[in-house]
Amino acid sequence: MFSWCSIPECASHPWHTLPIVRSRTTASGSLVGLANTDGHGKREPAYQAESWGVTYRRPVPVNPGGEYHRAMIRSIVFALLLCVVCLPAAEHPEAEISNGLVTAKIYLPDFEKGYYRGTRFDWSGVIHSLTYKGHEYFGEWQQSDDPHLHDRITGPVESFSLNASAQNFSKLPAGGTFLRIGVGVCEKPDKENFQWQHTYRVVDPGKWTVRRGENWIEFVQDVSDSISGHGYSYTKRMTLTPGRPELVIDHVLSNTGKKAIETSVYNHNFFVIDGQPTGPDFVVRFPFDLTADRDLKGYGEVRGPELAYNKVIPDGEHIITLFTGYGDTADDNQFAIENRKVKAGVRMKTDKPLSKLQFWSPHTTLCPEPFIDLKVAPGQADRWAARYEFYTLD
């Protein structure tokens, strides 16, 4: 069963136990009934204040305006402020799946309460914890409480390119609409060029359907933009393979619109293995000899098919590069990351050929980013899958 967010009623505070009015429900601030307030049977009008679904009621004298009235108002304001202080940080809809070996905790897509509501990444399948043999593989890699920040997200999350050739973003007028797969229909502001770090206004998140079993969860998003003529049905199914320390992410993208979908998609892979800093304890391996297109600033170096770290990348610094050397088959679309200190590793393999391979790494996370290309005609569909194998170093 999904664990939805809830807010406790702060019932432990003494002021919460003051007399409750027998009344009907009305808007905040109305006179809603009568309360026995003086202990002698005299009834007076009562004031109702509502906050976050919790209703607090206080007696108000019949003749307001005196010191008693002002004292009551002050006590009400203090009580509401006290409740705000005691409320926990906002929770987000989530689900948990397990095969007995691996357990994953996943944030669910939600337009109003979701952990991630930016427009850069797909909203589905956001893993904020995955554990195997006591090791943690994903989690928070930066400090932010902003659900609309473009990269405030965790886990193996995907981002689809704009489909620019089909949508002609630069020619859209201000207020025109365009699609972000895994997000929905977005609105273009005044700026002419698309900015991948910008969070656009989502005018229609489409329809999300979520189903799950003990070891699997499936997300389906249906989106249609009648103005642009684009539409799609996107399915992502995450399965923890029975009896194996493996996560399989299957995808199907169906074109339900009138125009072609031409896009690339990459998985950002925000690995946070046991909270270890990016440095010499890590090694990243590929099945081909690497060539980096940028300087790695002395923090790392290429050694044949491996990326090795010479020193810890400090806070505020990062390395980024495009790697080449891969071939045109899916056999090269794989990598392994190991941490020799905590003795934990992971392998990822995708069943489509690489179109680009980027690597980004700050102090807190390692991110091999494999890209694949998709071209889906109206009425057609395409599929791909990624496999993650988790292991320990013995």
Q: What are the extents of the domains in the chain?
A: 14-86, 94-392
Quick count: other Cβ atoms within 10 Å of Cβ 136?
16
Distance of CA 311 to the CA centre of its chain: 30
When comparing pLDDT for 185 and 21, which is higher? 185
Distance of CA 383 to the CA centre of its chain: 22
Is the pLDDT confidence value at 309 over 90? yes
| CA–CA distance, 227 with 316 (Å, rounded to integer) | 43
When comparing pLDDT for 79 and 51, which is higher? 79
Phi and psi dihedrals of 73, rounded to 5?
A: -60, -45
Task: Give the whole-number percent of the chain exceeding pLDDT 70.
Answer: 76
Q: Which of 337, 219, 195 is nearest to 269 (CA)?
A: 337
Q: Which of 393, 389, 366, 387 is nearest to 139 (CA)?
A: 366
Is the pLDDT confidence value at 105 over 50? yes
The residues pairing with 210 across neighbouring beta strands, listed in sequence order, are 219
Q: Residues near 41 by Cβ (< 8 Å), separated by ≥ 6?
A: none
Phi and psi dihedrals of 236, rounded to 5?
A: -130, 125
| CA–CA distance, 31 with 56 (Å, rounded to integer) | 13
| CA–CA distance, 128 with 147 (Å, rounded to integer) | 14
Q: What is the DSSP letter of 289?
A: -
pTM summary value: 0.76
Write down the pLDDT at residue 48: 34
Write down the pLDDT at residue 171: 81
Half-sphere exposure of 279 (CA within 13 A, CB side): 12
CATH number belonging to domain 94-392 = 2.70.98.10
| CA–CA distance, 135 with 131 (Å, rounded to integer) | 5
Write down the pLDDT at residue 194: 85
